Amino acid sequence: MGAPLLPPQAPALGRRALLQLGAASALTLLAGCERRDPLLLASRGDMPAAWARRLPRPWRSELVEDPGLVLARASAPLTGLVQLSDGWATELDPGDLQPIGTPALLERLEPMAAPLARLHGPASAPRLAFPWSYGPWVLVLRSRPDLARRRAEGWDLLLDTSLAGRLVLPSSPRVVIALVGGDGDRLRRLRRAALAYDERDGLSLLLTGEAEAAVLPRQRVVGLLRRDPRLQVLLPESGAPLSWNLLLRPAGPHPEPPLEWLGAALEPPLLPALLAAGWVPPLPRDQLQRALADFPAASAALLLPPQAVLDRCYSQPPLAAAERRQLQRLWDGAAPDPAAPAA
């Protein structure tokens, strides 16, 4: 990209005007440094814009490019709320957090959300997170009706030889291992077929035609289904790992989270807008069915799959050290040989 165009040259300023301008700039900078408004920090693409715009004063929101930056700034003095996925949230020390303070809202959620509110701690642990959205990982196909017709094969479709070098997988080794049931041989075949491990840019690879299949969080694709008939989304009958979106409250003298704003995500008029963008709060099924009543059947079925399929989806609690080492060995042992041809 070229350099930006320069603005028209302004008349030269006198010394007095320059001094006045410098003093005004210093005062503005000082005022900015002293700003004490509490901050909601999230990564771009992980916070619905329709919801963030409703954040009441004095709260303000800031979007950064990567969840790692959210994690790094979680303990900053003005950061009163952070949005992280459950995988990133487990990197925080619970001692660096304080209870989210929304018991009435948490009681409205399905029991499946309770372990996430405790960050998978024991039943007596404080509720440190507001698990406002969840979704399964799904298989997205581009212009592959032949594979879509074989949807009954589920995640085994990933091993179809026609996808070699045309497949985008999640960046999380744990999720990839789960897709093949922890089978070392199938994992080796899957890794040989991968074009990239990148759910954040995987959709771009799919849309440009570099990839023909990608495993992505559901919320990243729902909004595109009506606009791009080349895409088909499959949630295997066998279920899938779940990805959760959490709001957490860092420790410190921060104000209480804005309860009305939090609750707005659970009911109309905001709830249907969130659903249309792929964000599904863990609400009772009948409440979601009412909110989805006017949605196209295909979109509604993706956003609220049959209960039997949802029952086969699962969250992934933090790993013990021994489990982490075991999965690392499995992952490393399945690394493709650079000299070998793609599967």
Do 39-134+243-311 and 135-241+319-333 agree at the fold level? yes
Determine the pLDDT at residue 6. Answer: 28
The predicted model scores a pTM of 0.85
Non-local CB neighbours of 71 within 8 Å, separated by 6+ positions: 82, 84, 88, 91, 92
- Please report the pLDDT score of residue 162 as a whole number: 97
pLDDT band at 67 (very low <50, low <70, confident <90, very high): very high
Helix axes 321-333, 184-193, angle to 10 degrees: 60
pLDDT value for 338: 67
Residue 227 is predicted with a pLDDT of 85
Question: Is the CATH number of domain 39-134+243-311 3.40.190.10?
Answer: yes
Averaged over 157-167, what is the pLDDT? 97
Supply the pLDDT for residue 137.
97
Q: What is the pLDDT of residue 1?
A: 38
CB 248 within 8 A of CB 88: no
Instruction: Please compute the mean of the pLDDT values over residues 276-295 and round it to a whole number.
Output: 97
The angle subtended at Cα 94 by Cα 88 and Cα 97, nearest 5°, is: 90
Please provide the average confidence, as pLDDT, over all residues in the chain.
88
Residues 6+ apart with CB under 8 A from 324: none
User: CA-to-CA distance for 131 and 119, rounded, in angstroms?
Assistant: 10
Q: Does the pLDDT value for residue 3 go beyond 50?
A: no
> Hey, which residues does 169 pair with through a beta bridge?
197
Q: How many residues does the chain have?
A: 343
Q: How far apart are CA 148 and CA 259, in angstroms?
A: 43
Split at pLDDT 50, 70, 90, the class of 22 is very low
Confirm if 89 and 248 have CB atoms less than 8 A apart: yes
Can you give the residue ranges of every domain in the chain? Answer: 39-134+243-311, 135-241+319-333
Question: What was the pLDDT predicted at 340?
Answer: 56
Residue 29 has pLDDT above 80, yes or no: no
268 in Cβ contact with 242 (< 8 Å): no
Show Cβ contacts of residue 293 under 8 Å, excluding neighbours closer than 6 positions.
Answer: none
d(C-alpha 298, C-alpha 304), whole Å: 10
Q: Report the pLDDT value the prediction gives residue 35, as an integer from 0 to 100.
A: 56
Q: Which CATH superfamily is domain 135-241+319-333 in?
A: Periplasmic binding protein-like II (3.40.190.10)
